[in-house]
């Protein structure tokens, strides 16, 4: 159900977005891989299939997918439109969009660094809102043209702390609570077009996230000791691949996954 499709993945230079990009390409999806770190994105553009060979035509569905890197900042207005246009130039209109780019912030309301709040809200909330709007508008346009003949997927990475209040991480968590409500509202707005808007809420995932946010390494290793083995980005990619691989009439719209031993 994924072969022959065309995707845009944000946050593809690291962690979950990178694993999703590779997972989709292995399954025959062509992917525009977005992030700021152009060097890390370029590494992804290596042939992605088991054999490393593309099909003869290079068209979606003909052999493993191709990965085209696209460097840019998700907080820039118009960025989503540029990503969708890049996919269309390469292969045709995208029908999968995975919004994985985001960042963390250590600390409580009193303890977190207020000078970082704006960057957090820009990336984790406003940029996601812009991506949802631009992508849903494009998907609705496509669905109106083909009568919703094919399914289209918009997947957003939330978090368990966007579902349950975390006293240790409430500022970051509040951006994920906001995204949770947006995703469900948009799902209701566009579902009749056969557009699936899906929230994926992971618990602890070992990725570039902890270092990028500046979480204390010893604290994180204590968390890993208590709750581990932690999820890997590939675990999350596998679940996303399963969800978007369901038949057109089946929507796994809200998926929480945690390390088995993670209590809260």
Q: Out of 70, 91, 125, 209, which residue is the one contacting ligand NAP (CB under 6 A)? A: 209
Nearer to ligand NAP, 139 or 209 (CB): 209
| Cβ proximity of 174 and 202 under 8 Å | no
**Does 112 engage in binding with ligand NAP (CB under 6 A)?**
no
Tell me whether residue 137 is exposed, middle or buried, using C-beta atoms within 10 angstroms of its C-beta: 0 to 12, 13 to 18, 19 or more. middle
Q: Is the Cβ of residue 11 or residue 64 nearer to ligand NAP in the bound state?
A: 11
**Preceding amide of 62 cis, omega within 30:** no
| C-alpha atoms less than 13 angstroms from C-alpha of 88 in its C-beta half-sphere | 11
Asked if 33 touches ligand NAP (CB under 6 A), the answer is no
Contact between 75 and ligand NAP (CB under 6 A)?
Answer: yes
Q: Of 3, 4, 26, 37, which one interacts with ligand NAP (CB under 6 A)?
A: 37
Among 28, 60, 64, 102, contact with ligand NAP (rule: CB under 6 A): 102
User: For residue 226, how many C-alpha atoms fall within 13 Å in the half-sphere facing its CB?
Assistant: 10
Candidate residues 70, 97, 125, 204; the one interacting with ligand NAP per rule CB under 6 A: 204
**Which residue carries 């969800």 as its tokens?**
243
> What is the distance of C-alpha 11 from the center of its chain?
7
Give residues in contact with ligand NAP (CB under 6 A). 11, 13-17, 35-37, 73-75, 100-103, 123, 157, 159, 202, 204-205, 207-209, 212, 233
């Amino acid at each position: 159900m994924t072969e022959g499709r065309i995707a845009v993945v944000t946050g593809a230079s690291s962690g979950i977005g990178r694993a999703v990009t590779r997972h989709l390409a292995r399954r025959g999806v062509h992917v525009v891989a977005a992030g700021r770190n152009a060097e890390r994105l370029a590494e992804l553009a290596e042939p992605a299939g088991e054999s490393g060979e593309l099909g003869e035509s290079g068209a979606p569905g003909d052999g493993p997918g191709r990965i085209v890197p696209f460097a840019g900042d998700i907080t820039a207005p118009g960025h989503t439109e540029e990503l969708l246009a890049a996919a269309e130039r390469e292969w045709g209109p995208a029908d999968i969009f995975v919004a994985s780019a985001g960042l963390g912030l250590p600390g409580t309301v009193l303890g977190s660094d207020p000078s970082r709040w704006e960057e957090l809200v820009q990336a984790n909330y406003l940029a996601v809102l812009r991506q949802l709007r631009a992508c849903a508008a494009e998907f609705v346009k496509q669905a109106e043209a083909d009568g919703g003949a094919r399914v289209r997927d918009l997947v957003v990475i939330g978090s368990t702390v966007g579902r349950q209040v975390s006293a240790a991480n409430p500022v970051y968590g509040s951006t994920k609570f906001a995204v949770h409500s947006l995703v469900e509202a948009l799902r209701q707005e566009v579902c009749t077009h056969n557009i699936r808007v899906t929230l994926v809420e992971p618990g602890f995932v070992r990725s570039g996230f902890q270092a990028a946010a500046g979480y204390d390494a010893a604290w994180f290793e204590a968390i890993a000791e208590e709750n581990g083995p932690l999820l890997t980005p590939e675990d999350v990619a596998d679940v996303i691949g399963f969800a978007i691989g369901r038949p057109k009439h089946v929507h796994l719209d809200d998926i929480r996954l945690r390390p088995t031993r993670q209590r809260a």
